[in-house]
Amino acid sequence: MTAVYGFDLTFGNKMKNKGTDCLRVIILVLFCSLTTNATFAAFPVYVDGQALPSLAPMLGKSMPAVVNISTTKNVQLRENPLLRDPFFRHFFQLPQQQRRQQKNSLGSGVIIDSQKGYVLTNNHVIDKADKIMVTLNDGRQLSATLLGTDPEADVAVIQIRAEGLTELPIADSNKLKVGDFVVAIGNPFGLGQTVTSGIISALGRTGLGIEGYEDFIQTDASINPGNSGGALVNLRGEFIGMNTAILAPSGGNVGIGFAIPANMVITLKNSLVEHGEVRRGLLGVTTQNLTPELIKAFDLKNTNGVVVSRVEANSAAAKAGIEPGDIMVSLNGEKIKSSHQIRNIIGLLQIGDKANIKLIRGNEQKSVLAIIGKPQLTQISGDKFHSALKGTILSDTGKEQIEGVIFLKIDANSSAWQHGLRPSDIIVSANRYRIRNLGQLKKIVDQRRELLINIQRGSEAFFLVLK
């Protein structure tokens, strides 16, 4: 028997009292009438003669500009060290070819130039891919070419060749405000193109440890694995950011997603298209955020800015006259609030660009002009430091945010390669001492001893013992 608010709605039952039956029918009709009117009052079809607002018209124009990206990567499987011994392989008649496994991954991309076929995505979506395939909204599948990538900001540009492409218009992300409505478009979990909506929860998020350069838009629009590289758009369908990461302690969406602002993405895209890489220079300073103790110690009235703790010799900052203890308060007209902010601003400048800096020194306010310089990197053969590093080429990282010694090249037949070292690995400590440059590594390493090194590889870190 089915009952609603105590009314018997079962039809075909035989009632003893026909008067009661009639009364129940009348009450039921009135009830249905009232609930129907209430339903239409809560969800009107028209308001003042206008149809209900919908995102469908905007999405109809925007969704064709967002693509699904799939990649294929051949990965060498790790083998037992004995299998790398030529005598062992010959004795047991094992094949010489290395075992490989094919890995596939999915992500999203945004067409920002329909004529040239430029597609923006995240570096981690296409990193080390042997094959990149793009699926358009209309179902067409196209092979893509990698034009350039910037791992530190997690941005990449690929190119496709096709007619009838749709591009997204670009908005000025500097004009965004917390509370603005946004829509995320992407390919979560490989389900196909999906749309979610929300608001901008915060702006200028830094210090998350997700990328080397961070200035994220935070949004509560649902972003999940596979959304990476997709578009965050405003209600006009304009590109305001590239969906990049989520904060998901439980492994699922918790309403905290991050997107790289459009202005930052487009600046990097221009450099990647022109040079195939981002040619970052160095200002040559190390800074730290102001604390209440430092504000008091420097007798500052303005709490904005950062204090310069170190100036590299012969750097752009040194040539501009910047000194340790200076308080940097603005850079190229932008007020400085944190060290992360300086790193982001400098990270978007090219070698030879100007940096107009306002600073406080004692009771004086000064303005200086620095010309962003080219990192002076020295390349040294690894065997100059330790015999276990024979077949490698080492250099200073040339990065203000990641100090250490980087492997530029590693011979695939070298002992270092056999131990698992790879190009772009960074030595951050040796024999338990912190390493910032080649000079420090030279002082610490002893050819007669085992070499214990701490390696940083992207977001991972591990120790190795070399003999």
CATH of domain 285-371: 2.30.42.10
Residue 256 has pLDDT above 80, yes or no: yes
Q: Where are the domains of the chain?
A: 3-42, 57-278, 285-371, 380-466
Amino acid at site 325 = G
Instruction: Check: CB of residue 408 under 8 Å from CB of residue 422.
Output: no
> What is the pTM assigned to this prediction?
0.66
Least confident range of 49-63, 88-102, 237-251: 88-102
Q: Can you tell me the distance from the alpha carbon of 451 to that of 464, in angstroms, rounded to the nearest whole number?
A: 8
Short-list 238, 255, 237, CA closest to 246? 255
Question: Domain 57-278, what fold?
Answer: Thrombin, subunit H (2.40.10)
Kindly indicate the confidence band of residue 93, based on its pLDDT and cuts at 50, 70 and 90: low
Show the tokens assigned to 312: 């590299």
pLDDT, residue 408, reads 87
Instruction: Check: CB of residue 228 under 8 Å from CB of residue 186.
Output: yes
The tens digit of pLDDT for each residue in 361-394 reads: 988 889 999 998 876 667 888 888 898 899 999 9
More confident site: 17 or 238: 238
Instruction: Check: CB of residue 361 under 8 Å from CB of residue 325.
Output: yes
pLDDT, residue 334, reads 87
Q: Can you tell me the distance from the alpha carbon of 161 to that of 63, in angstroms, rounded to the nearest whole number?
A: 19
Active site residue ranges: 124, 154, 228
Short-list 144, 157, 151, CA closest to 124? 151
The tens digit of pLDDT for each residue in 30-57 reads: 344 434 444 334 445 566 666 778 888 8
Kindly indicate the confidence band of residue 109, based on its pLDDT and cuts at 50, 70 and 90: very high
The tens digit of pLDDT for each residue in 122-181 reads: 999 998 888 999 999 988 999 999 999 988 889 999 999 999 999 999 999 999 999 999
pLDDT, residue 348, reads 82
Instruction: Check: CB of residue 370 under 8 Å from CB of residue 351.
Output: no
CATH of domain 380-466: 2.30.42.10
pLDDT, residue 259, reads 93
Helix/strand/coil for 379 = coil
